[in-house]
Amino acid sequence: MSFIRQYLSDVISGVKSLLTGMRLTGKYFIKHKETNITQQYPDNRQELFAGLPDRFRGEVVMSHDDNNEHACTGCTACELACPNGTIKIVTKFDMTPEGKKKKAIDKFVYHLELCTMCNLCIEACPTSAIKMAQNFEHSVFDRRDLTKVLNKPGSKVREGVE
Amino acid sequence: MLQDVIEAGNGDMIVNVGPQHPATHGVLHLVITIHGETIKKVEPHLGYIHRSIEKMCESLTYRQFIYVTSRMDYLSSHINNHACALLTEKALQIEVPERAQYIRVIMDELTRLASHQLWWGAMAMDIGALTPFFLAFREREMINDIMEETCGARLTMNYMVPGGVMFDIHPNFVQKVKEFNAHFKQKIDEYDELLTGNIIFQNRMKGVGVLSKEDAISFGCTGPTARASGVSCDIRKLFPYEVYDKVSFKECMATEGDSFARYVVRLEEMKESMRIIDQLIDNIPEGEIQGKTKAVLKPPKGEFYTRVETARGELGVYVVSEGATTPYRIKFRSPGFSNLSALDHIARGQKLGDLVAMMGTLDLVIPDIDR
Amino acid sequence: MFSLENITNLVSTWLYANLDPTWALVVQFVIVGVLVISLFSILGLVLIMMERRVAAWMQLRLGPNRVGPRGYFQTVADTLKLIVKEGMTPDGADKFLFNLAPFIVMIVSMVIMAPLMFAKGFQIWDVNIGVFFITAVSSVSVIGILMAGWASNNKYSLLGAMRSGAQIVSYELSAGLAILTIVVFSGSLQVSTIVESQADGWWLLKGHVPAVISFVIFIIAVTAETNRAPFDLAEAESELTAGFHTEYSGMKFALFFLAEYVNIFVVCAVGATLYLGGWMPFHIGNWTSFNQVMDYIPSSAWFFGKTFFLIFVIMWFRWTFPRLRIDQLLNLEWKYLLPISLFNLLLATVIAIMGLHF
Amino acid sequence: MTREELQSRISEIAPMATAIEGGEWLNMDVAPADWKNVAKLVRHTAGLDMDYLFCLTCVDWKTHLTMVYHLTSTTHRQTVVFKVKLDREKAEVDTVCDIWRTAEFHEREVFELFGVDFKGHPDLRKLILPDDWQGFPLRKDYEDPINMIKL
């Protein structure tokens, strides 16, 4: 008899455990309006971008002010700090009003396709010329578009930044 | 196909599982010999995602190579970074401020929780239940949001720097972590309801893939895999780093060594991680977040070894320094590599369906194995 | 009251009045064929949509929501994609069997529809061994699956097909025994008679414990027979990638896929007919007014309502449970379901002989 | 067990191992021919029970290769590091995978990345690299113009 009792209690406890699971999924099925966690991505772009935290690392940008001036002196600290060779700085020599030669950046080349967003260049920059932007939509049709020049054309170093 | 079977002569069939297979979670390639449904041999072929991180690190400075290690075990990237940061601190004897230590430990435990949640969902998917995956991701998303706010990235954070952490915690951090803990404490019961108690699940897990204590030690298994076999190997307990000696937590152990024990140990570990976070989150001391370091880090000549407990087991970093800015030789002793070596041993004689369950409970992350 | 019976009678009378009997029969065949094929495709679309919604809602998701209003045309778009996709035949495959297999599976699931009673008086073929016909024909589909697995010349497919063979053959036993319980109660194999016998109450309610037990066993067995999770070992995604249809693509894959869903519909329709009274409305004893209200609901609505309820239950299983292992699957059948259903059949026979059921 | 005790204990049972100064743990130097014996002794001697090989690797010193074995005991928790100097041209050492099973995979990894031949290894094949790979990538003189990108 004990064999049959064991057999029956096995069956009953097994069925019970299955019903416990079904109760949970059933609950989610009925309350699906409250429980769903889907974000409808392209539709919610506006809120998504507004909700991105300030520290989110999307790409490296160089901040320019209204006079089209930036703070990059071309010291190549970021280039040295970068583990992947993402940043290449091309320098040129400007003439200061006093007639002296002064080193300045010609092009700040940034290879987005190599960048791992590790933030080491931002940490290394002594003048806070570059920062991370909150953008994650990087896909392009031509990979050459991923190589960017960060300093705007005609921009120059802000006065007083050494 | 028939030709293979005839040539084997005894009805054995060789099946390639992977590198593209739904159950291998990546590009693991297993060549298995089966007789009917019974496994006779499992032979892993690796290297499909081998990037030779060890060679790469030889040309990166001590500040730079930390980011690469996030790409090893991408589910516990914080802990990998932590190991490398600890190594540099040990070599140069850098004092880490207490605030940074607290933040590091909280981040480690959050990472462990996130990793175990993903494991739970993925393992359930391996054995055919698809709903748990979404429950796990619901909670994991909250951790990812916390990480995003404080560290700036969701998966490969690169938040640890030699001497401390990169930024201070976000003002919302404490609040959000508390919210998450309260939420997850309720939801972890659903995990039991949906899967742990389920009779089909228990039958699939119990007595399957038994790894004895001696074998676990001999195969060098660590982490929950070894603890389920009764091997005490929690680095956080044995060789406490940072503030792990100040918090009270239990080393989750089991003795059965089967898939179900590994499952239970991981679930228990999630609860312990929550306990650790509870103890630390209110007591983060004020102060600096980075210790004083030189701009160029040049460890002295010698050999250094650090061990940390990642979500999968013991991660060892062995560095040979020649006094230069880059390591002369670096070796990552990754937990997954050793755990994988036990797969052949525990899978023999089991059914094909169990192989998937075993791989699920060993919690293999392929980039961690291949490095 | 709205009934499909009037329409079918009208069509039949009109045909026999205007054509000679042979041609009338041929025209009837054509009409039935067109109806079955359209039902086949409509069922496929509806059930796939339903499955995706049920799955999504149980998994905290939204489900399809991009094609058409609230995503309702998603399956149509998927079908279009499958039609224009290249149907490849692997080089090493047995080409004839490989191409034949999906059609066998599909034809089987179409043929089973013949004795089903979709509404009052709406039945293709009221054969006197209707229930037996269904069990007999449904076992043919395993040949299609074995054929697909063997002809693909792929190890995963072969393993899946062999699993499927073992599984379907064993689960047919308890499904058959569960059906036999109701046959014992109603004393007939004819579908229309079985439905008639439930005019005063469904067998599930008036058949005492044996009916309930056999209903549970029937649901488990048909879930296994249609290769649905938690018994989806034949296509166990995480073990055998896609099992017996790994090598199929395009429309040939779509036929397997459609046949799976139509099979679910058929077995659930059989379950609804046997246990839940088919098209019979729900009546309670002598609550005359209540019974009259129930009678106003069309019989087809009753039938499809019950069937879709059972389909929902089977989908509920799928999105909750993990998969069984092959030896556990066979253990469940031979150690639990078969002894229980044999014992249950004995009990049912005793009850039927003593006339103890209501 | 302190470092000194451990050192004297190991020198007692295995005199062919000589201690090296420095390092976090006790470092001992062993000749390739003696290594297998030393390994067996430290694994099976009561009181030592070095049952857990937690790291096995190789270092290329340009003049020679050094195998590094990190051993610990799960019962006594003492750690010792064994170093075996190998000839760079003809790198050969006995396998220890019959003593610690974890060595099976680690030795295969070292075999293909450093070109160390482990005598007696049951299944010494390439594990990570393709079967037709030439050269040993983790050696310092390895050059590969295609796959190595110099910054």
Q: What is the pLDDT of residues B318-335, one digit of tens each?
A: 888 888 888 888 888 888
What average pLDDT does the structure give for chain A? 83
Contacts of D99 (CB under 8 A, 6+ apart): D39, D40, D43
Q: Is A109 exposed, middle or buried (0-12, 13-18, 19+ CB in 10 A)?
A: middle
Which chain C residues are within 8 Å of B125, Cβ to Cβ? 238
Would you say B87 and B57 are in contact if contact means Cβ atoms under 8 Å apart?
Answer: no
Range of the domain at D78: 3-89
Angle subtended at Cα C97 by Cα C93 and Cα C103, rounded to the nearest 5 degrees: 125
pLDDT given for residue D148 in this prediction: 67
**CB-CB under 8 Å, B152 with A119:** yes
pLDDT band at A5 (very low <50, low <70, confident <90, very high): confident
pLDDT of residue A31 exceeding 80: yes
**CB-CB under 8 Å, A57 with B156:** no
pLDDT given for residue C3 in this prediction: 64
Please state, in angstroms and rounded to a whole number, the distance separating the CA atoms of residues A32 and C215.
29
Compute the CA torsion angle C28, C31, C34, C39 (nearest 10 deg). -100
pLDDT band at C358 (very low <50, low <70, confident <90, very high): low
DSSP string, A20-74: HHHHHHHHHHHTHHHH-----TGGGHHHHHHHS-TT---EEEE---TTSEE----
Please name the residue of chain B whose CA is at the shortest distance from the CA of residue A37.
B138
pLDDT band at B1 (very low <50, low <70, confident <90, very high): low
pLDDT of residue D151 exceeding 60: no
Which chain B residues are within 8 Å of D137, Cβ to Cβ? 52, 55
Residues of chain C above pLDDT 70, percent: 97
Low-confidence winner among A53-62, A78-87, C44-53, C111-120 (lowest mean pLDDT)? C111-120
Please name the residue of chain C whose CA is at the shortest distance from the CA of residue A31.
C57
**CB-CB under 8 Å, D53 with B220:** yes
Before C298, cis peptide (omega within 30)? no
pLDDT given for residue A115 in this prediction: 87
Residue C247 contacts B where some CB pair is shorter than 8 Å: no
**Model pLDDT for residues D85-139, shown as the tens digit of each residue:** 888 888 888 888 888 888 888 888 888 888 888 888 888 888 888 888 888 888 8
Q: What is the mean pLDDT of residues C288-298?
A: 75
pLDDT given for residue A162 in this prediction: 65
pLDDT given for residue B5 in this prediction: 65
From the CB coordinates, do chains B and D have 3 or more pairs under 8 Å? yes
pLDDT given for residue B8 in this prediction: 66
What average pLDDT does the structure give for chain C? 83
**CB-CB under 8 Å, B217 with D51:** yes
- Tell me how far the alpha carbon of residue C191 is from its chain's centroid: 15
Q: Is residue C307 part of a domain?
A: yes
- Taking phi over 0 as left and psi of -120 to 50 as alpha, with beta for the rest, A130 belongs to beta
Q: Is residue C272 part of a domain?
A: yes
Instruction: Give which of A25, A31, A34 to mutate to test C binding, by max C Cβ within 10 Å.
Output: A25
β-strand partners of D93: D118
Which chain C residues are within 8 Å of B138, Cβ to Cβ? 60
Q: Is residue D119 part of a domain?
A: no
Whole-model pTM: value is 0.88
Q: What is the ipTM of this complex?
A: 0.84
Count of domains observed in chain D: 1
The size of the A-C interface in CB pairs under 8 A is 40
Q: Is residue C52 part of a domain?
A: no
Please state, in angstroms and rounded to a whole number, the distance separating the CA atoms of residues A78 and C3.
81
pLDDT of residue B142 exceeding 80: yes
Q: Is residue C67 part of a domain?
A: no
pLDDT of residue B3 exceeding 70: no
* Residues, chain A: 162
A21: nearest CB among C54, C61, C320: C320
Q: Is residue C17 part of a domain?
A: no
Please state, in angstroms and rounded to a whole number, the distance separating the CA atoms of residues C122 and C204.
23
**CB-CB under 8 Å, B305 with D105:** no
**Model pLDDT for residues C306-334, shown as the tens digit of each residue:** 888 899 988 888 888 888 888 888 888 88
**Model pLDDT for residues B212-242, shown as the tens digit of each residue:** 888 888 888 888 888 888 888 888 888 888 8
Contacts of C251 (CB under 8 A, 6+ apart): C82, C83, C85, C87
pLDDT of residue C157 exceeding 80: yes
- Tell me how far the alpha carbon of residue A134 is from its chain's centroid: 6
The domains located in chain B, with CATH, are: 52-370 (1.10.645.10)
pLDDT given for residue C91 in this prediction: 83
Low-confidence winner among A9-13, A35-39, C144-148, C198-202 (lowest mean pLDDT)? C198-202
Helix (H, G, I), strand (E, B) or coil at A114: helix
pLDDT of residue D144 exceeding 80: no
**Model pLDDT for residues C185-238, shown as the tens digit of each residue:** 888 888 888 887 777 777 777 767 788 888 888 888 888 888 887 888 877 777
Which chain B residues are within 8 Å of D105, Cβ to Cβ? 337-338, 340-341
Low-confidence winner among A137-141, B202-206, C36-40, D12-16 (lowest mean pLDDT)? D12-16
**CB-CB under 8 Å, C61 with A38:** yes
Instruction: Give which of A11, A23, A32, A57 to mutate to test B binding, by max B Cβ within 10 Å.
Output: A57
Please name the residue of chain B whose CA is at the shortest distance from the CA of residue C57.
B131
Q: How far is CA B333 from CA B224, B227, B319, D43, in A?
A: 16, 18, 11, 21
B353: nearest CB among C58, C229, C239: C239
Which chain D residues are within 8 Å of B323, Cβ to Cβ? none
Please name the residue of chain A whose CA is at the shortest distance from the CA of residue B60.
A83
Higher per-residue pLDDT: D146 or C127:
C127
Q: How far apart are the first and last CA of chain B?
A: 34
pLDDT of residue C2 exceeding 70: no
- Count helices and strands (H / E) in chain C: 16, 2
Which chain D residues are within 8 Å of B345, Cβ to Cβ? 101
Range of the domain at C231: 90-354
Which chain B residues are within 8 Å of C320, Cβ to Cβ? 129, 131, 194
Q: Is residue D52 part of a domain?
A: yes
Which CATH number goes with the domain that contains D69? Answer: 3.30.460.80
What average pLDDT does the structure give for chain B? 86
pLDDT of residue A27 exceeding 60: yes
- State both tokens at A40: 């409808």
Instruction: Give which of B15, B191, B194, B200 to mutate to test C binding, by max C Cβ within 10 Å.
Output: B200
Count of domains observed in chain C: 1
Residues of chain A above pLDDT 70, percent: 96
- State both tokens at B344: 């052949």
pLDDT of residue C53 exceeding 60: yes
**CB-CB under 8 Å, A118 with B158:** yes
Q: Is residue D106 part of a domain?
A: no
Please state, in angstroms and rounded to a whole number, the distance separating the CA atoms of residues B216 and B232.
11
pLDDT of residue D75 exceeding 80: yes
**Model pLDDT for residues B86-125, shown as the tens digit of each residue:** 888 888 888 888 888 888 888 888 899 899 999 998 888 8
Residue D16 contacts B where some CB pair is shorter than 8 Å: no
D102: nearest CB among B47, B54, B338: B338
Low-confidence winner among A7-16, A34-43, C197-206 (lowest mean pLDDT)? C197-206
Chains that touch C (3 or more CB pairs under 8 A): A, B
DSSP string, B252-293: ---SS-SHHHHHHHHHHHHHHHHHHHHHHHTTPPPS-SB---
Which chain A residues are within 8 Å of C53, Cβ to Cβ? none
Q: Is residue C172 part of a domain?
A: yes
Instruction: Give which of B214, B303, B343 to mutate to test D binding, by max D Cβ within 10 Å.
Output: B303
Closest chain B C-alpha to C73 CA, distance in angstroms: 24
